[in-house]
Chains A and B, each alone.
Chain A
C-alpha cells in the first residue's frame, strides 16, 4: 500500500505482542488453585482391615444429600458379585475380592477419588473448575464447570462421573474428601463411620510413616507396596493390601504425575508466548519478503 512504511507493520506486531503478553500474565492469576501443602491430609485404606460392611457408602451418600436408604440395607452382600464403580449415585463403593490362598476372609476395597497430589483433572479442566486445596482435597466448582467432561477423559483412575440424564445443570460427581465437613473440623463421613477404622485419616506424611511401620511389623501380611505413595506423583488416599494391587483392579501407573507430559508440552508451546509470537514474526517476515521479491521481479520485467 502506498504511503505506508514498514514501521507500521512492526508497530502493529508490537501491539499484538503486548496484548498477548497481557493475556499470559492474567493466565497465571486466574489459574486454578493447586496447592501442595506440607501437611495436607490423606487417608490410609487398609484393605486387610476392611470388613466390607459398606457403612461408608451410606455415610457418603447421607453427607452429600444423595438418596441413601436405610443403613441396614447395606448389609446385603450380594452386590459384591459384580465389581462396581463410583458414579453419580454413589461417590464411593466397596468391592470384594478373594484374598487367595491363605485366608478364608475376602479382601474389601473401597473405591473413590484418590485426590492426587498432581491431579490430572485440575490440569485438564478447561475453566479451572477443579482445584487441589490446602488440606489435600481435590474439589470441583459447580459455578465454573461447562460440562465438557475432559476431566473424565484425563483422570487416570476413571473417577469423575457425569449426570448424563440431566438436561439442565448436569454435574460432575466425585468424592470431594468431605470438603465441607473437614472445613468445620469434622472427619470425612466415611472415616467417621468406619467401624473398624480401615480408613485412617491424618497428614499424608504421617500416614506414609504408619503404613511403612505396618508393613515392617507384618511382612507376611502385607505386600511391600503402599499404593498411592508414588503412583502418578502421589495421592492423598493410599492403600495397603495383602495381595498384589493389580489383582485388586488397581491400574498399573507410573510415578510421573498424570498431567506431566501434557503440561510440559503446553508450557513448551506457550513458554511466555515466545513460540507463538516468534511464529507470528516469522510468518510476517516471509510474507514481506515474498511480496517484496515478487514486486522486484515484476519491476525487472517491466
Chain B
C-alpha cells in the first residue's frame, strides 16, 4: 500500500514538471511568444536555451487567487501621475471566471510569473515594436475591461495627479484597496428562460443542481465571462445583454448546455411549463436509496462530465461484493435463516439484481413483494 502512495505522489509531482520540460511537439505553433521560454533566437533540441526558472518559491499563473499579493503599486512610469495602486487580489479573484491569471499574465504558462517590463520596454521609441511598450501594456490590460463596464476612458479612475501632499494621497489610495476581497458571488437557484421554440417555450435551468448536486466547476461554464456580466455603470445593461443575446446564432445560444446535453432532444429541456429539480428516479428510472442519495455523483459516475450512464448492476460499483461478504440487510431486507443459505441466483435470476426476485423457483403461488423472504428492517 505504501508503495502505491509513493508512486502516486511521485507521479503528481513529476507531471507538471515534465510538462515544463516537454511542452509538446507542436508547441512552436502555439500562441506563445518564443522568447517567453527561450533566450536565443533559434533554440534546438540539444540547446533549447531555456529561461532559468527559480523552481522553489515559484509563483505561477496557477496560484490560488486568494493567496496572491493584495496590492501592487505600479510605479515604473509615474511621471505625471502618482503610482497606480492596483488591487491585485480582487482582480485575481474576479479573473477566475474570465480566463484566470493568464488573462493578464499572458505568455507565462510554463514558468514563473515575469515582471511586465521583462518584455515590454519602457520607452515608446524603441527597437522592438512588435510588442506594445510598458505604458501601453498596462493600459491595455486595464482600460479594455474598465471601459467595458464604465463606458468611459477617464484617466482619473485609476490615476491621481502628483500634488504636494503626495504621501497623504498615496496612503489614502492604499487604504481604499488594502485588504479588499471580492464579495462572494451570489449564485442563482434556478433561471427560467423564455424561448421562441414553439413546442416548448420554457427552459428551466437549475443552477444549484449543476453546482451543488453535480458539482460542476464554475469555470467549466464560466470560462471567459466579460466584466459586463456583473459590472455596469448603466442600469439598463440588462436590456443590452438581452439584445446581444438576441443576436446570437442558434449554436451560440446552446453552446454552454450542449457541452454536456449534446445527445438530448429539444423537448427534454424545452417544456411548456417550468420543470422541477433533478430527480434521479424520474430522469434515470433508478431510485437512489438512503446511502446512494448521499453520495456525490462522481462517486458512481466518475469525474468525467457529462456523467456517463451506468447500468443497474450493483457490482459495477460494489466490485468487492460476493456471496460471502454481502450483507443483504443493507438492501432493507433482512433474510431469514433459510433464505440466507441460498445462492444469489436462486432468487435473482441471472444475477440481475435490478429486477424483482422470483419465488417460483421453490415456492408455488408465492409472489414478491407480497411474500418476503425475511423481514424489512426499514422502510424506504
Residue ranges of A at the interface with B (Cβ–Cβ < 8 Å) = 49, 51-53, 71-72, 75, 77, 101, 104-105, 187, 191-192, 194-197, 200-202, 206-207, 210, 213, 217
Contacts and interface: CB of A to CB of B under 8 A. Distances in A.
A197 B136 contact: yes
Contact of A104 (B132, B135, B148, B153): B148
Given A51-B153, A53-B153, A72-B154, A187 B124 contact: yes
B228 interface: yes
B132 A51 contact: no
B136 A195 contact: yes
A136 to B, nearest CB: 15
B19 interface: no
A105 B144 contact: yes
A52 B151 CA distance: 10
A194 B125 CA distance: 13
A110 to B, nearest CB: 14
B179 interface: no
A200 B125 CA distance: 10
Interface of B: 31, 124-125, 129-130, 132-133, 135-136, 139-140, 143-144, 147-148, 151-156, 226, 228, 240, 244, 247-248
A143 B248 CA distance: 57
A194 B143 CA distance: 12
Contacts, number: 65
A125 B307 CA distance: 74
B120 to A, nearest CB: 10
A206 B247 contact: no
Nearest to A192: B124
Contacts of A101: 244, 247-248
17 contacts: A51-B139, A51-B143, A51-B153, A52-B147, A53-B143, A72-B155, A72-B156, A75-B154, A101-B247, A101-B248, A104-B226, A105-B144, A105-B148, A195-B139, A202-B129, A206-B129, A213-B130
Nearest to B229: A104
Contact of B129 (A51, A105, A194, A200): A200
Given A75-B153, A75-B154, A51 B147 contact: yes
B81 to A, nearest CB: 11
Given A101-B247, A104-B228, A105-B147, A197 B132 contact: yes
B143 A195 contact: yes
Q: Give the top 4 A-B pairs by smallest Cβ distance, nearest first.
A: A197-B136, A53-B153, A195-B139, A197-B132
B135 A197 contact: yes
Nearest to A209: B130
A191 B129 CA distance: 12
Given A52-B153, A192-B124, 14 more contacts: A51-B143, A51-B144, A51-B153, A75-B152, A101-B248, A104-B226, A104-B240, A105-B147, A195-B135, A195-B139, A195-B143, A197-B133, A206-B129, A210-B130
A71 B153 CA distance: 12
A191 B124 contact: yes
Contacts of B130: 210, 213
B129 A77 contact: no
Nearest to B33: A217
Contacts of A75: 152-155
Contacts of A200: 129, 132
B244 A196 contact: no
B325 to A, nearest CB: 57
A52 B154 CA distance: 11
Given A72-B154, A187-B125, A194 B144 contact: no
